């Protein structure tokens, strides 16, 4: 896993201050280790004073699932772009 970002560390601190166990805070921030995913979780937690641990984990999994779907979409778009170029310009075989 890649190192946590500054925003991910802010999420860690926010969760500790709200009374979540450190091992849960560690698990969440190790998985939500990008600015995008950490910001999503901070936004979610900001709407509540305290959530059960199960709901925090469910939201973490939902954020990761959404991130994976976005990544798959971007990969498919890139592949489609290459196919379109192939159709438009053909194979460059000489």
Please report where in the chains the tokens 């959404």 appear, as a residue: 66
- CA angle, residues 87, 90, 93, in degrees to nearest 5: 160
Q: Residue 82's CB: how many other CB atoms inside 10 A?
A: 9
Contact 8, 34 (CB under 8 A): yes
Is pTM, for the whole model, over 0.85?
Answer: no
**Could you read off the pLDDT of 32-68 as tens digits, one per residue?**
989 999 999 999 999 998 899 999 999 999 999 999 9
Mean pLDDT, the chain, rounded, equals 92
pLDDT score recorded for residue 89: 87
């Amino acid at each position: 896993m890649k190192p946590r970002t500054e925003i991910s560390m802010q999420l860690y601190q926010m969760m500790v201050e709200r009374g979540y166990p450190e091992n849960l805070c560690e698990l969440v921030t190790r998985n939500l280790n990008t600015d995008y995913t950490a910001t999503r979780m901070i936004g979610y937690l900001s709407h509540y004073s305290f959530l059960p641990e199960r709901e925090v984990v469910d939201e973490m999994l939902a954020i990761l699932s959404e991130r994976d779907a976005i990544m798959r979409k971007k990969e498919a778009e890139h592949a489609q772009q290459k196919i379109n170029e192939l159709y438009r310009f053909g194979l460059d075989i000489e």
